[in-house]
Structure formats: C-alpha cells, structure tokens
C-alpha cells in the first residue's frame, strides 16, 4: 500500500468521525484551545521578562564590561572601586573606560504626588555609552545641575510626563531630591523596575547622597578599532583583580537572561506554568480520545472483522490527535494574539508574537496531543472482532 493511502484513509476516517459529533468536537477544541492560550501566555510573559531584563544592556555601547563577581544582575549590583576599572587602561588595546552608576529610587508623580520606584542610570554625559540618540542629543542639557531624562516607555503610573513637560510642569523629586525633567528617551520597563531615568554622574551623586564617584556598579570598556575583544578579555582577566567579571557584550546579555531564567524563581514559575498548561491539555485530550475509542470500539471491531489491521486504528487515533491539535491551535493562536496586544497596551510589557514562538507553542501542543494519543491507543484492545457476531 502506498504511503499516501497508508495515512490518508485512516486520517479521513478520523476526520469524518470527528466532525460527525459537532458538540463533542467543539468541547474537544476548547480543551486544546485552553491549553494553547495558557502556554502562549506563559511563554509570552517569560520572553517579555527576558527581553525587558536585557533591555538596558541591549542599548549599552561598549566592547567589554566589568561587573563585580557577586553582582547577580544589573538591577542589584555589588559595587567595586573605580580604580579597578582605571587599571584596564594599562592595556594598550583599551581606548576608553567609563563607569556606570545604578540605583533604584522613588520617583514622585507630579500630578498625584504618589511615589513609585524606578531605575536611575548615572554616567558621564560625554561618554556616549548608551546607544540611544535622544541621550546623545541631550548631553549638554544633562551636564546642568539636577537635570534628568525620562524613559517614555516607563509605566503610566509615573504620570503623563510628555504632557506635563509641554505644560511646563517638569520639576519633581527623585529619592526626595528635587530634579528637572529636560527630555525623553526610550528604553523600556523590566521586572526589576517600572521605569527609568538617565542623569549625569554628578547629578546621580546628588540624588543618592550616600554614593561616591569612586564606587561604581558597572564598568564599560571601549577598545581601539581592530583589537581582538576576546584576546583583550583574556589579558584583562589576568591583569585585573579576580573579584571582577569581564564580559563581552553577548556575555553580559546572557548573564542578565540567565539571572532571570535560573536565579530568580520567575523563570521557574513560567516554566512550571507551561508544564501545567500542557498537563491539563494532555488530560483533556486523553479523555476525549479515550472515550472516542470506547464509543467507536464496535465500529473498529467491525472494520477489523472486514480485514483492517490493528495499525490502521492506531493511525486513526493519531490522526484524531493531530486534528485536535490543529483545530485547537488556530483559534488559540488568534486568541493569544489578542491577549498579547492587550498585555502590551495595559501592562506595557513587550509581548511580540513571533513566528518562532508560534512554532514552539504549536510543537508543544502537537506533542501534547500525540502523547495523549499514545496513551489512549491501549484502549484499542477493547475492539475485538470476535465479539462482533
């Protein structure tokens, strides 16, 4: 028998049996759809978390990055001495080094006067360590005393800053220190901070009076063109104190992602959520296929009596599982797409529906249905042709 007939005929029978009972088909589809949406949301939140966790380093402009070994992630750094960063200048390939100061501080909403924590980035305005045009363009304004740039992608709870600024209301408090918002940039929120402001290193010290310029959170190293990043990285790691990590740009990104994936329980929670969604879906699909086989066992036994082989019915079951996966996934995809848009507009998390994500979820759902099919085929033994007469 040729391959097309081998799968086509059982698939056709599975399809005809599926669409015969519309009510049951709708119930079954809803089960898969439910699992699908659950998995999509878990994956979406998880990816949003990673994306936003890495949103700050993504925009950093440097070749190598110094971080304290005990710094788990950028939002909770362990400080180290600026002199350690300066020692990197001893390497002939190093062109410039810049410190970055990070601190979480309450920001007062100008309208409501409510306070909410955001991330403050302090750096030399002339250093150009951020690859963000708006920051580069505003560097003269940033050099003034008590000026900050506000991240437009911050959560709305900080107030409608653009309108306020246009209305001339641009003075507020960060860490109970009066500052002036002189412009905007775009970075994005993360799970660690609901918003961001950028300011000069000197202003940073004014906002955080207990901080000093000599204790830095992150060191950014720029090399002369044509020098090998990995070679300099190796050289520096033997030259510098061993309590600092020297990351390349990609390693820094990876370090941030790993933190959220492994160190923080959040990565585990979303992984767990995904597994639970799949388990619930598995149980539903198994239940559907199992009762389906039970209901059709006389029909299957009749076909067996006519000379159909056991493998044919296994293919019928797997084809049903496949159809359920497709039928549940398609509406599940569009439903999740809607929820992604909703999440983006309501909670300002970046939730893009990428082809890769859709593919991943589809493969999850497909394997879920196939596993359910695999578990259900043992019930086919109940279809005994000897009981047909």
Partner 1 sequence: MSRIIDVHDLNFSFGSGALSQPVLKNVTVSIQKGEIVLMTGPSGSGKTTFLTIIGGLRQAYHGSVRVLDQQLINSSEQVKVSVRQQIGYIFQQHNLLKSLTALQNVSMALEMQNRMTEQQRLDRAAEMLKAVGLGERLNYKPDQLSAGQCQRVSIARALVGQPQIVLADEPTASLDKQSGHEAVTILERLAKESQTTILLVTHDYRILDMADRIVELEDGVIKEK
For 343: left if phi > 0, alpha if psi spans -120 to 50, otherwise beta; the answer is: alpha
| Interacting span for partner 1 (CB under 8 A) from 5-13, 32-40, 185-193, 259-267 | 5-13
CA distances from 158 to 106, 207, 242 (A): 10, 18, 40
CB of 20 to partner 1, least distance (A): 3
- The residue (of 2 and 354) whose beta carbon lies closer to partner 1 is 2
The yes or no reply on residue 7 touching partner 1 (CB under 8 A) is no
Among 253, 285, 303, 321, binds partner 1 (CB under 8 A): 303
- The residue (of 30 and 305) whose beta carbon lies closer to partner 1 is 305
Please tell me the distance from the alpha carbon of residue 33 to that of residue 93, in angstroms, as a whole number: 56
Encoded one letter per residue, x for contact with partner 1 by CB under 8 A and - for no contact, window 348-387 reads -------------------------------------xx-
CB of 388 to partner 1, least distance (A): 6
Please tell me the distance from the alpha carbon of residue 319 to that of residue 294, in angstroms, as a whole number: 17
Q: Say if strands 147-151 and 177-185 run parallel, antiparallel, or are unpaired.
A: parallel
- The residue (of 3 and 346) whose beta carbon lies closer to partner 1 is 3
Strand ranges for 186-234 from DSSP E: 196-200, 215-216, 218-223
Encoded one letter per residue, x for contact with partner 1 by CB under 8 A and - for no contact, window 305-334 reads xxxxx-------------------------
Among 304, 321, 327, 376, binds partner 1 (CB under 8 A): 304
| Interacting span for partner 1 (CB under 8 A) from 109-117, 202-210, 257-265, 301-309 | 301-309
CB of 308 to partner 1, least distance (A): 7
Name the CA dihedral angle for 348, 350, 352, 356, rounded to a multiple of 10 degrees: -150
The yes or no reply on residue 16 touching partner 1 (CB under 8 A) is yes
Distance of CA 317 to the CA centre of its chain: 36
Please tell me the distance from the alpha carbon of residue 14 to that of residue 5, in angstroms, as a whole number: 14
Cβ–Cβ under 8 Å, residues 65 and 229: no
CB of 23 to partner 1, least distance (A): 14
| Interacting span for partner 1 (CB under 8 A) from 11-19, 158-166, 254-262, 366-374 | 11-19
Please tell me the distance from the alpha carbon of residue 51 to that of residue 356, in angstroms, as a whole number: 15
Q: Count residues near partner 1 (CB under 8 A).
A: 24
- The residue (of 13 and 218) whose beta carbon lies closer to partner 1 is 13
- The residue (of 1 and 226) whose beta carbon lies closer to partner 1 is 1
Cβ–Cβ under 8 Å, residues 281 and 106: no
Q: Say if strands 244-248 and 115-123 run parallel, antiparallel, or are unpaired.
A: unpaired
Among 3, 20, 22, 346, binds partner 1 (CB under 8 A): 20
The two three-digit tokens of residue 268, written as one number: 């585990």
Among 214, 299, 352, 381, binds partner 1 (CB under 8 A): 299
Instruction: Enumerate residues 6+ apart whose C-beta is below 8 A from 235.
Output: 91, 93
Residues at the contact surface with partner 1, assessed by CB under 8 A: 1-2, 5, 9, 13, 16-17, 19-21, 298-299, 302-309, 385-386, 388-389
């Amino acid at each position: 028998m040729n391959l097309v007939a081998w799968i086509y005929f059982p698939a056709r029978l599975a399809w005809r049996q599926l669409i015969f009972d519309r009510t049951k088909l709708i119930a079954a589809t809803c089960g898969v759809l439910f699992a699908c949406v659950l998995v999509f949301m878990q994956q979406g939140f998880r990816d949003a978390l990673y994306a936003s966790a890495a949103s700050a380093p993504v925009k950093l402009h440097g070749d190598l990055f110094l971080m304290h070994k005990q710094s788990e992630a950028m939002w909770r750094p362990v400080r180290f001495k600026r002199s350690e960063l300066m020692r990197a200048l001893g390497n002939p390939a190093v062109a410039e080094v810049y410190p970055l100061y990070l601190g979480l501080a309450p920001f007062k909403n100008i309208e409501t006067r409510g306070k909410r924590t955001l991330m403050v980035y302090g750096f030399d305005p002339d250093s150009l360590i951020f690859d963000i045009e708006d920051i580069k363009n505003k560097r003269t304004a940033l050099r003034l005393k008590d000026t900050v740039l506000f991240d437009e992608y911050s959560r709305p709870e900080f107030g409608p800053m653009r309108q306020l600024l246009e209305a001339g209301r641009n003075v507020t408090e960060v860490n109970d220190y009066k500052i002036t918002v002189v412009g905007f940039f775009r970075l994005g929120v993360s799970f660690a901070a609901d918003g961001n402001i950028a300011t000069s290193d000197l202003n940073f010290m004014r906002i955080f009076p207990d901080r000093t310029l000599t204790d830095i959170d992150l060191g950014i190293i720029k090399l002369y063109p044509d020098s090998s990043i990995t070679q300099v990285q190796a050289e520096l790691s033997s030259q510098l104190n061993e309590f600092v990590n020297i990351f390349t740009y990609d390693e820094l990104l990876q370090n941030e992602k790993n933190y959220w994936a492994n160190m923080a329980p959040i990565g585990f929670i979303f992984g767990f959520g995904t597994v639970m969604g799949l388990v619930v879906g598995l149980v539903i699909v198994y239940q559907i296929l199992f009762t389906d086989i039970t209901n059709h066992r006389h029909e299957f036994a009749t076909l067996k009596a006519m000379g159909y082989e056991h493998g044919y019915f296994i293919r019928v079951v797997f084809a049903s599982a496949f159809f359920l996966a497709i039928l549940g996934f398609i509406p599940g995809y569009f439903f999740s797409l809607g929820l992604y848009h909703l999440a983006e507009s309501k909670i300002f998390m970046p939730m893009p529906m990428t082809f890769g994500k859709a593919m991943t979820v589809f493969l999850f759902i497909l394997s879920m249905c196939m596993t359910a099919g695999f578990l259900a085929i043992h019930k086919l033994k109940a279809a005994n042709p000897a009981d047909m007469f």
